[in-house]
Amino acid sequence: MHDPTYTIIRPIVTEKAAWAAAHGNRIAFEVSKIASKADIRLAVETLFKVRVLGVATQTRRLRTRAYAYGKVEGKTWKRALVKIHPEDKLELF
């Protein structure tokens, strides 16, 4: 992926993500399922003008739920935890 706007879908805003941003300088994003760590690093550095120290990714799958008309599987998505340089600030929350 070459376009940074297609790599990063949205920031993840939860209490846990806000705590990680305040204490560990880590920002959580929902990213494209086919994006690599190098793509995510380049996208964050380009869009937000910060220095990235590391990227950790997880592929998440929601559980299967049973309804009266059958079973429905949740959407698979990818989360990236991006650690930024301590001197840089990224205010998303």
Domains of the chain: 4-84 (3.30.70.330)
pLDDT of residue 1: 58
DSSP 24: S
Distances (CA, A) of 54 to 27, 73, 74, 76: 11, 32, 29, 23
pLDDT of residue 50: 94
H-helix or E-strand spanning residue 43? helix 37-48
pLDDT, tens only, 37-91: 999 999 999 999 999 999 999 998 888 888 999 888 888 999 999 999 999 888 7
- 93, pLDDT greater than 60: no
Taking the model in full, what pTM does it have?
0.84
pLDDT of residue 7: 95
